[in-house]
Amino acid sequence: MTRSRRNFALLASATLLAACSDSTGPDGNGGPSGTESFQWSGQIAPGGTVEIKGINGDIRAVRAAGSTVRVSALKKGTTDAPSSVRIEVVEHAGGVTVCAVYPDVPGRPQNECLPGRFAGQLSSRNNDVSVTFDVQVPARSKFSGATVAGAVEADALDGDVFAFTVGGNIDLSTSGQASASTTSGNITASIGMTDPDHDLLFSSLHGHVTVWIPAGTNARVSGSTANGLISTDFPLTVTRNGSFRHMSGVLGDGGHNLMLTTSRGNVVLRSK
């Protein structure tokens, strides 16, 4: 989806909450030739969001052993110097946002790292530096990962997860809720909450969408694919019109929507 290319915009004047934080220099430590590393650690308020925004590179998140957020980034460049891309950390009332900020593109708005999926501005042109993020997310914290050319992974988290990419797969597991979208990748998600408190969307254009949910989930389910198959463990209605297949039904007491969509892949909804 083109969402990952949209301007990421902001909450102005956020109140800083992180009580303690540290980073290895403004742009990290120099590594082997063609690479540069960066590390940051700090605290966020309970239930806050750890948000990572990249453009070129994978994002990987795991649960932290304690209450400290830890972010490591590795920048690699072939033609362009890794130092041409800076890692910016914005601490705010809702948590912390970490961005890979590329050099400004002439004729476009100035790049800016701001909290919120549609806040700020991040773009890149003809810069081959990739930035891979590894993140440790404290218990009961939310995680949001967005990139353009890369995969997003979130393993064994227990807060809500939001994952977005254009050219990559999404693989996530959490005991909380989640939403995910990609254009040319597959989505594999295992989520927990049996009573979603907002709509959950899993969307791909060119890939498969596979989601595991608890057997006792209460939700209104819809699923569709234009050129694939639909499979489900639940008593849902599956219809076919030519190559287009649609799945719909109510699980338990219903409630918020759970939507699985793709154009050129399969849709699979499993019980766990």
- Lookup: tokens for 5: 């290319």
Q: Are strands 130-137 and 59-63 parallel, antiparallel or unpaired?
A: parallel
Which range (8-12, 37-41, 91-95, 174-178) has the least confidence?
Answer: 8-12
* Percent of the chain residues topping a pLDDT of 70: 88
**Confidence at residue 146, expressed as pLDDT on a 0 to 100 scale:** 97
Q: What is the mean pLDDT of residues 193-211?
A: 96
How far is it, in rounded angstroms, from Cα 152 to Cα 186?
Answer: 11
pLDDT per residue over 224-261, tens digit each? 999 999 999 999 999 999 889 999 999 999 999 999 99
pLDDT per residue over 142-169, tens digit each? 999 999 999 999 999 999 999 999 999 9
Q: Are strands 209-213 and 267-271 parallel, antiparallel or unpaired?
A: parallel
**Confidence at residue 31, expressed as pLDDT on a 0 to 100 scale:** 52
Q: Token pair 């301007």 is at which residue?
A: 7
Q: What is the DSSP letter of 26?
A: T
Domain boundaries, the chain: 1-137
DSSP assignments along 97-157, one per residue: EEEEEPPPPTTSPPPB--SSTT-SB---SS---EEEEEEEE-TT-EEEEE-SBS-EEEEEE
pLDDT per residue over 71-119, tens digit each? 999 999 999 999 999 999 999 999 999 999 999 878 788 889 999 887 8
Report whether 10 contacts 119 (CB < 8 A): yes
Nearest to 71 by CA among 116, 8, 138: 138
Number of Cβ within 10 Å of residue 236's Cβ equals 16
**Confidence at residue 175, expressed as pLDDT on a 0 to 100 scale:** 97
Integer CA distances (angstroms), 189 to 106, 112, 125, in order: 39, 31, 32
How far is it, in rounded angstroms, from Cα 57 to Cα 128?
Answer: 10
Q: What is the mean pLDDT of residues 12-17?
A: 27
> How many CA within 13 A on the CB side of residue 35?
7
Higher pLDDT, 120 or 94: 94
* Cα angle value 137/220/239 (rounded, 5°): 120
Which range (29-38, 106-115, 262-271) has the least confidence?
Answer: 29-38
How far is it, in rounded angstroms, from Cα 114 to Cα 23?
Answer: 18
Residue 73: which region, alpha, beta or left (left: phi > 0; alpha: psi -120 to 50)? beta
pTM confidence score: 0.87
pLDDT per residue over 180-192, tens digit each? 999 999 999 999 9
Number of Cβ within 10 Å of residue 18's Cβ equals 18
